[in-house]
Structure 1
Amino acid sequence: MPNPHGPVIRCFNVKYSPNLGDGLLSECLEAELRACGAAPGTASVDLAARTGWGQGTAGRGLAMATLDALPGPLRGLAVRAPLAVQARRRWRPHYARGLDGADAVAIGGGNLLSDHDLNFPTKLALALETAGARGLPTAIFACGMAGEWSVEGLRRIRTALRAAQPCAVFLRDDASCARWDALLAEAAGCAAQVVRDPGLMARHAYPRTARAEGAGRRPRIGLGIMSHVAIRYHAQAGIGPDALRRWYVDLATRLTAAGAGVTAFTNGAPEDVAQAEALRPALSALPGVEIAARPATPAVLAALIAGCDAIAAYRMHAVIAAHSFAVPALALAWDDKLAAFMQSVGRGDWLADPACLSPEAAARRLRDAAASGLPEDETARVVDEARRDVGRLYAALCRAREMAAS
């Protein structure tokens, strides 16, 4: 239960990202911190200074495609001036307002420890500096850490960590912890510990949607659509854009021919929505296919996923939410963070690359998964571990507050 006398914890993350998976994990983290005893004012501060869902999405896909096309040195130069302007005009004032009344700070979750065009190194350094200026104990929680950093990105984040000295660092997989220990532990003054992703608590944060039952009913398969532009911006794509579009349509064709219903959905990112719209004519022509509207909130996304019998998706928090609701997921390989999650829950054999897995084979696996489901006791155990890990974060911040006061 929230404790009106407990600490007010502010979580720096990207809660209001157009990708609603970030909002889902943020709401789960906030809710569990309050369940641990944090005050009702415990909430997130969006690192991009957004205050609601659906803000700041215009031109996102074009910007990603433009930066992806630039050579490395030119790309680095192109982002520095805009980042400096945003930091001064928007982010610093927003972070300061967000910390009014705060007693402690958690940075996370999400893939925040990464260096795409100096974006997160700039924002995290500023957030750490703002918290440090107020003497607030800070911990890093449930973040993923990338392996490739620019010299300038490492310089910025190391400088900030040396000044901040976080009281604890909890990262969401072994690879992230190894990267932290190699690159940032010395500056921060502490090694990283592994925790579960807070998105696994979706079953507690959102109502569970009842799935249709009865003899002869159609299994409902969720098909998570992701843009090839987004895949290329963040990772290496094993499949080309035209081939990926054909793969989506061929998979839906195979599923509906076998008697399954298909719901095509996105996590909300505008580039993914554009991809879904481009596929609409082909998918709409198939009997039994629904194309879901862009979810307006994480709760809508969670309900959509919970109502499926199985899903296939690239987006990590679609897969994580599915696991929370005991919905089997065929995770589509593109990034090591997704591979790490699937291994961590004993589902590594359900990670597959569309470049290597035929639509026919994918449809067969999804039909089998929908029929067999996931063992409730196994998913419940993982969810309970995620809740205990938030308890570790809460305890670390409380200890740091007590030490600072003594």
Structure 2
Amino acid sequence: MKKIMICGVPNSNNLGDRVIIESMNYIYEQYLNKYEIVNFDIVSGKIYNGNLDVKIKLNSNGFRKKMIPNILRRMKVYSNYKKNEKLNLELENIISKQDCVVIGGGHLLIDNYLHFPLAINQIVQLAKEYQIPVIIAFVGAKGKWSQRAKKLLVDSLDYAKCISVRDSASKDFLVSINSKYKEKTQVISDPALFVKDFVGISDKNKMNIGIGIMDPNEIARHAKIKWSRDEAAGWWKKIITDLEKKDLRVNIFTNGAPTDNAFVEYYIKPHFEKNNNVKIMEYPKNYKELIQNIERQDAVIAQRLHACLPSISFENKTFGVIWDEKVEGVFNELGMSEYLIDFRIAPNSLIKKIESSLANGTRLEKEIINKINLKKVEMKEYLYNYT
């Protein structure tokens, strides 16, 4: 049996990243079951299968942190990465035994102070040394890239046998880097659309509306939009209160990132602790708990892409809060632009839009479900044809 390494960032505190890897594993195990799979986290190494400790800690947005020049951040990351001999030896030992390496999915083609560019390039260079093909699958791509990151990622993209991204904006960005990626890159979708396939669906009684909340300070790391914690808390409290008044059970959840947990704990939870129609779901300790929290809902309103996609996989109406190109891009690829909502619009008008949609049921329209199934076929065919 051939061996394949599927790598991303499954050990991330954002459990949506683990959902991606498990979805990739499912595609190979269910439809391409001629491979022995090993998973690897490009930042931390071997995949961790235990429960994560629930952490409640807001990310800092202090003045001192903002004053650190990006070049110093990159130098620190580079130094730490090169010193991590254990990770490098572990990686070489695994790659040398593989027949193929798959990098994806997730928002990997970005310059997060060289974290991902260095890690991806290291994997690709080792694969090249051992003459092992590399597939880049279902990733997101976004700039700006520093000159160092650009060299690392372009070298990696050039060696890759094929590239697929999850939305048109990602392909457009890669083509802006070099026009040669226009032919090499396919726009498909995100593997989290397979979540329903390997989880199944449970029975429900009263209509449950899931509210997937993210710390708004995360927006500043990825977009130019500004939304303070106080502003975000006020917006969410209005949305939740209006939904609860319509006799809906509102369940608030996170993807497990410590800063998301803390934002809910300190800014949202105190307002609803005594409200029987609003529940703060337990912060997930592993990807299965995250999926369970989402599967229990009839409809979802969420910010993080991998709070939205499992819900879409369950064919439930899912409203994505626009805060980054990736959310908007993936929704557009699925024909779900009508399900995008903008936090800069007053909650009253958004509630009317959501209420009007739910009045026709909580299941996605047939045309969208057909598009989802088509994207899943395209993902299976991509991996089958290029692995």
Q: Tell me the TM-score normalized by structure 2.
A: 0.90
Letter in 2 for 1:183: I
Q: 1:383 to 1:351 in 2, by over 3 A?
A: closer
On the 8 A contact 1:60/1:271 being kept in 2, the answer is yes
Letter in 1 for 2:142: A
Letter in 1 for 2:244: T
How far residue 100 of structure 1 moved from its aligned partner, in angstroms, is: 5.3
Conserved? CA contact 1:201–1:383, under 8 Å: no
Query: SS at 2:377's partner residue?
Result: helix
Q: In the aligned structure 2, how far is the partner of 1:396 from the partner of 1:363?
A: 44
TM-score by length of 1: 0.86
Q: Answer yes or no: is the 8 Å Cα contact 2:298–2:362 preserved in 1.
A: yes
| 1:319-372 Cα distance to aligned partner (Å, 9 max, x none) | 11111101111211100111111111222122122122x223333333333342
Task: Output the CA distance in 2 between the equivalents of 1:29 and 1:337.
Answer: 19
Please say if 1:152 is aligned against 2:148. Answer: yes
Query: Does 1:341 pair with 2:334?
Result: no
Alpha-carbon deviation of 1:224? 0.9
Distance 2:259 2:94 in 1: 29
Structure 2 letter corresponding to 1:293: E
Shift of 1:236: 2.5
Distance 2:89 2:326 in 1: 32
Specify the alignment match of 1:110 in structure 2.
106
Match of 2:277 in 1: 288
Whole-Å Cα distance in 2 between the matches of residues 287 and 361 of structure 1?
25
1:362 alignment counterpart: 350
Computed over aligned residues only, the root mean square deviation of the Cα atoms, in angstroms, reads: 2.6
CA deviation after TM superposition for structure 1 residue 376, in Å: 6.2
Please, which of 36, 39, 49 is the counterpart of residue 31 of structure 2? 36
Match of 1:324 among 298, 313, 323: 313
What letter corresponds to residue 193 of structure 2 in structure 1? L
For residues 152 and 61 of structure 1, do their structure 2 counterparts lie closer, same or farther at Cα, with a shift above 3 Å needed?
A: farther
Task: Write the deviation string for residues 199-228 of structure 1: whole angstroms up to 9, x where unpaired.
Answer: 10111121223222xxxx4x2111111001
Q: 1 CA distance for matches of 2:39 and 2:212?
A: 26
Helix, strand or coil for the counterpart of 2:184? Answer: coil
Q: Deviations over 1:361-391 (max 9, x none)?
A: 3333333333422346445423432332333
The CA distance in 2 between the partners of 1:155 and 1:20, in whole Å, is 30
1:114 Cα offset (Å)? 0.6
**2:135 maps to amino acid:** A
Spell out the pairing of 1:239-388 with structure 2 (5 A cutoff).
Answer: 239-278=227-266, 279-356=268-345, 358-371=346-359, 372-375=361-364, 377-388=366-377
Change (3 A) 1:23 1:184: farther
User: Is the Cα contact below 8 Å between 2:166 and 2:190 reproduced in 1?
Assistant: yes
* 1:26 aligns to 2:21 (yes or no): yes
Closer, same or farther: CA 21–94 of 1 in aligned 2, 3 Å: same
Q: Is the 8 A contact 2:56 2:261 kept in 1?
A: no
Map 1:37-186 onto structure 2 (within 5 A): 37-39=32-34, 41-50=36-45, 51-52=47-48, 62=59, 65=61, 69-71=65-67, 74-89=69-84, 90-99=86-95, 101-162=97-158, 165-184=159-178, 186=180
Counterpart selection for 1:227 from 177, 197, 215? 215
Q: Using a 3 Å threshold, how does the CA distance of structure 1 residues 385 and 96 change in structure 2: closer, same or farther?
A: farther
CA distance in 2, matches of 1:147, 1:181: 12
- The Cα offsets for residues 131-173 of structure 1, whole Å up to 9 and x where unpaired, read as 22221111110001103211221122223444xx211111111
One-letter amino acid of the counterpart of residue 152, structure 1: R
**2:54–2:284 contact (8 Å) kept in structure 1:** no
Which is further off, 385-394 or 299-308?
385-394
Give the conservation status (yes or no) of the 8 Å contact 2:108–2:141: yes
What is the rounded CA distance, in whole Å, between the counterparts of 1:123 and 1:92 in structure 2? 10
Query: Counterpart of 2:109 in structure 1: which amino acid?
Result: L
Q: Aligned partners of 1:299 and 1:58: how far apart in 2?
A: 17
Structure 2 partner of 1:401: none
> Structure 1 pair 84/14, CA: closer, same or farther in 2 (3 Å)?
same
Q: Which residue is 2:191 aligned to?
A: 198
Identify if the C-alpha distance between structure 1 residues 158 and 339 changes in structure 2 by more than 3 Å, giving closer, same or farther: same
- Letter of the 1:83 partner, please give it: Y
Inter-partner Cα distance in structure 2 for 1:57 and 1:93: 30
**Whole-angstrom CA distance in 2 between matches of 1:276 and 1:222:** 14
Q: Deviations over 1:47-106 (max 9, x none)?
A: 1225326669979854x646994257x122133233332344153233224435321011
Aligned equivalents of 2:155, 2:174: Cα separation in 1: 15
CA contact (8 A) 1:8 1:102 kept: yes
Q: Tell me if 1:389 matches 2:384.
A: no
Gaps of 5+ in 1: 399-406
- The DSSP-based 3-state class of the residue aligned with 2:173 is helix
Contact 2:4 2:102 (C-alpha < 8 Å) held by counterparts:
yes
